[in-house]
């Protein structure tokens, strides 16, 4: 969710956001027409055919919004649709937030230009902040416009495509202004349960095994990062000098990398899918960004089971919890669907 404007948001930021979004909306092509068009490359036709079936499954089986989102396609001719910039103080895991109408406050700023994202990151670094920039595959306008399939969404297998569509439609199903951790964990829970259901319905046992292995590795990764966050939080809360904190922070990040290599080589049998994350600089902004997507997911999955894996009941339960002032604690404490 990359666009919006508020009193503290510069006009230039709003302009690039609006321009980037409008450019994508203007380039949309109907998926059905592309599938029927004999000039459409066969590889693209196959992907769009799968996407169309996944889109129907999302509505019919997961009770996700039945609207025009993901029924059109845009080739954006780049590796990411937006670039998200995260920032946090040198000795704190509390991310900086930016506030926008409709979307509320979020712990990042999104840019349709890599150059603009890099310039923003440099400016934040000048302010003494830790900064993390990452490319984004898809974004949601929460149903305010008809979000298209993007070429960035089609670059991996159909399981990945299904998970993206389910995740982004989940944001349209429920979104709480100003609570990114709650929103993202809810979407990941819908994505996870929905992808499992989709693979089972397709009878793809091998695909399901691969997916479950990937989910297990993701949980292992998030566990490693959570442990590192706990360790640096203790450092930041201790009576140390800035020099001592910086040294302890660096030591914690070195331990994180060491633990990853051990896990990769022993438990994961050499799987290197997370090497890129660990090979790049690790700082508070990167640690904080990772926590947004993972910490509350187990609680949502437990609630889904309490709701007998019934999506309408689950959504209703989540909505009731979302309306509570301490929704995070209410989610953890939930012991029934009602």
At 283-304, the pLDDT tens digits run 999 999 987 767 789 999 999 9
Report if residue 268 sits inside a domain.
no
> Which of 297, 17, 229 has the alpha carbon at shortest distance from 136?
17
- Give me the pLDDT at residue 20, please: 86
pLDDT score for 337: 94
166 within domain boundaries:
yes
Domain limit, last residue, from 161, 180, 199:
180
Closest of 334, 304, 52 to residue 192, by C-alpha = 304
Answer yes or no: do 27 and 156 share one domain. Answer: yes
Residue 240 lies in a domain: no
Cα(186)–Cα(241) distance, integer angstroms: 39
Cβ neighbours of 32 (radius 10 Å): 13
Q: What is the pLDDT of residue 5?
A: 32
Q: Name the band, by pLDDT with cuts 50, 70 and 90, for residue 1.
A: very low
Judge whether 284 lies within some domain: no
pLDDT > 90 fraction of the chain, expressed in percent and rounded = 81
- What token pair was written down for 251? 């030591």
What pLDDT score was predicted for residue 139? Answer: 84
Residue 36 is given by DSSP the state H
- pLDDT recorded at residue 144: 81
Specify if 315 maps to a domain: yes
Place of tokens 């969404």: 153
Distance CA 67, CA 142 (A): 11
Boundary (domain end) residue, out of 134, 160, 180? 180
From residue 311, alpha-carbon distances to 51, 56, 95, 320 in Å are 21, 15, 32, 14
> Is residue 176 situated within a structural domain?
yes
For residue 147, give both structure tokens. Answer: 């979000």
* 40 has pLDDT over 90: yes
- Other C-beta atoms lying within 10 Å of the C-beta of residue 267: 11
Question: How far is Cα 318 from Cα 298, in angstroms, rounded to an integer?
Answer: 14
CB 287 within 8 A of CB 228: yes
Residue 231 lies in a domain: no
Domain of 310?
A: 297-333
- Would 74 be classed as within a structural domain? yes
Query: Which of these, 117, 161, 120, lies nearest to 137 by C-alpha position?
Result: 161
Smallest CA-to-CA distance from 63 within 304, 227, 235, 287 is with 304
Give the burial string for 207-228 (b: 16+ CB within 10 Å, else e): bbeebeebeebbebbbebbeeb
**Quick one: pLDDT at residue 46?**
97
Residue 136's contacts (CB-CB under 8 Å, 6 or more residues apart) are 2, 80, 81, 82, 83, 84, 110
The percent of residues in the chain predicted with pLDDT above 70, rounded, is 95
Question: 170 and 304 share a domain?
Answer: no
Please state at what angle helix 297-306 crosses helix 311-322, rounded to 10 degrees.
Answer: 130
Distances (CA, A) of 204 to 60, 156, 189, 197, 276: 19, 17, 20, 10, 29
Is pLDDT of 104 > 80?
no
Q: How confident is the model at residue 102 (pLDDT cuts 50, 70, 90)?
A: low
DSSP secondary structure code for residue 153 in this structure: G
Rounded to two decimals, what is the model's pTM?
0.90
The per-residue pLDDT of the chain, averaged, comes to 92
What CA dihedral angle connects 30, 36, 38 and 43, to 10 degrees? 70
Q: What is the pLDDT of residues 204-233, one digit of tens each?
A: 999 999 999 999 999 999 999 999 999 999
Q: At residue 63, what are phi and psi to the nearest 5 degrees?
A: 55, 35
- Mark which of 125, 156, 180 sits at the end of a domain: 180
Predicted confidence band at 6 (pLDDT cuts at 50, 70, 90)? very low
Q: How many domains does the chain have?
A: 2
């Amino acid at each position: 969710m990359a666009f919006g404007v508020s009193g503290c948001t510069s006009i230039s930021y709003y302009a690039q956001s609006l321009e980037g979004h409008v450019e994508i909306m203007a380039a949309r092509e109907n998926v059905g027409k592309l599938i029927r068009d004999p000039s459409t490359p066969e590889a693209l036709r196959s992907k769009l055919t799968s996407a169309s079936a996944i889109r129907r499954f999302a509505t019919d089986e997961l009770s996700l919004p039945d609207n025009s989102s993901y029924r059109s396609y845009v080739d954006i001719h780049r590796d990411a649709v937006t670039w998200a910039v995260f920032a946090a103080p040198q000795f704190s895991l509390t991310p900086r937030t930016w506030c926008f109408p409709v979307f509320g406050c979020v712990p990042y700023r999104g840019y349709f230009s890599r150059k603009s994202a890099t310039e923003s990151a440099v400016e934040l670094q000048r302010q003494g902040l830790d900064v993390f920039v990452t490319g984004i595959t898809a974004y949601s306008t929460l149903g305010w416009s008809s979000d298209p399939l993007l070429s960035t969404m089609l670059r991996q297998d159909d399981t990945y495509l299904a998970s993206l569509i389910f995740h982004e439609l989940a944001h349209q199903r429920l979104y709480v202004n100003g609570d990114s951790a709650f929103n993202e964990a809810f979407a990941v829970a819908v994505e996870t349960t929905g992808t499992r259901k989709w693979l089972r319905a397709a009878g793809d046992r091998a695909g399901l095994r691969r997916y479950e292995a990937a989910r297990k590795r993701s949980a292992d990764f998030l566990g490693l990062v959570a442990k590192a966050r706990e360790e640096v939080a203790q450092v930041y809360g201790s009576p140390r000098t800035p020099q001592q904190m910086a040294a302890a922070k660096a030591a914690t990040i070195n331990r994180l990398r060491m633990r990853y290599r051990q896990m990769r080589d022993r438990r994961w049998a050499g799987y290197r899918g997370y090497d890129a994350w660990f090979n790049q600089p690790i700082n508070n902004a990167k640690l904080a960004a990772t926590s947004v997507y993972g910490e509350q997911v187990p609680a949502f999955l437990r609630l889904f089971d309490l709701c007998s894996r019934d999506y309408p009941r689950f959504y209703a339960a989540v909505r009731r919890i979302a309306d509570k002032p301490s929704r995070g604690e209410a989610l953890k404490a939930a012991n029934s669907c009602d």
